[in-house]
Amino acid sequence: GAVVSQHPSWVICKSGTSVKIECRSLDFQATTMFWYRQFPKQSLMLMATSNEGSKATYEQGVEKDKFLINHASLTLSTLTVTSAHPEDSSFYICSADLGTGVSPLHFGNGTRLTVT
Amino acid sequence: KQEVTQIPAALSVPEGENLVLNCSFTDSAIYNLQWFRQDPGKGLTSLLLIQSSQREQTSGRLNASLDKSSGRSTLYIAASQPGDSATYLCAVPRGFNKFYFGSGTKLNVKP
């Protein structure tokens, strides 16, 4: 079945550095991918919609210059956390639009980011 | 803005018990509702999807109901097993393939 792969599964970085997270659709083409963030004991919050070949759409309150999204191909979207700070430490999850007209049933396994 | 609430936040039961997880939402104009399972440090697995025209959906030991008028959904788990231990999230659409999520119910089934 359709699978979404997310990499890395966890990363630790120093404050001020940038971190790139990849989200791949393994056996289907995803014109749209979605990035969520989850703080401890809180729900998933949609950050942005990644559109293949065009600019991402960011949700209110999400800094587009800090969370850079690139969707250069139909199977890969990347989220780069630039100049990371400890408050960016969170669990980031992507999901992919299967383009079937029903809600996506496949999410990535998430990336645990810790900024020290 | 849609708000999705789940109670209880955490639940611990002995193996074999039947249990009910609750989800409420403030805007009843939804076209479906989904229940997901999230294992620690993992992504989400879709369990059940209920269309707005349906009142319930069943998959194995899981049964989900939807009452749009009252803004409520329940997830019933029969004969719980330790392998059911996870966090259960309900979600309602906020556009095509995007969701508002509840904060989840963390379930622990003790052997």
pLDDT in tens, B6-50: 999 999 999 999 999 999 999 888 888 999 999 987 888 889 989
- Residue A69, pLDDT > 70, answer yes
- Residue B97, pLDDT > 80, answer no
pLDDT at A77: 93
- Cβ-Cβ contacts under 8 Å, A33 against chain B: none
Secondary-structure percent of chain B, ordered helix, strand, coil, rounded to 5: 5, 60, 40
A33 touches chain B (CB under 8 A): no
- Residue A101, pLDDT > 80, answer no
pLDDT at A103: 54
* B78 — pLDDT class (breaks 50, 70, 90): very high
- The mean pLDDT value for A77-105 works out to 84
pLDDT at B94: 78
Maximum distance among all Cα pairs of chain B, rounded to whole angstroms: 41
Find which of B25, B44, B100 to mutate to test the A interface (most A CBs within 10 Å of its CB).
B44
- Residue B69, pLDDT > 70, answer yes
pLDDT at A29: 82
- Cβ-Cβ contacts under 8 Å, A6 against chain B: 43
Cα torsion angle, A98, A49, A60, B88, sign:
positive
pLDDT at A42: 82
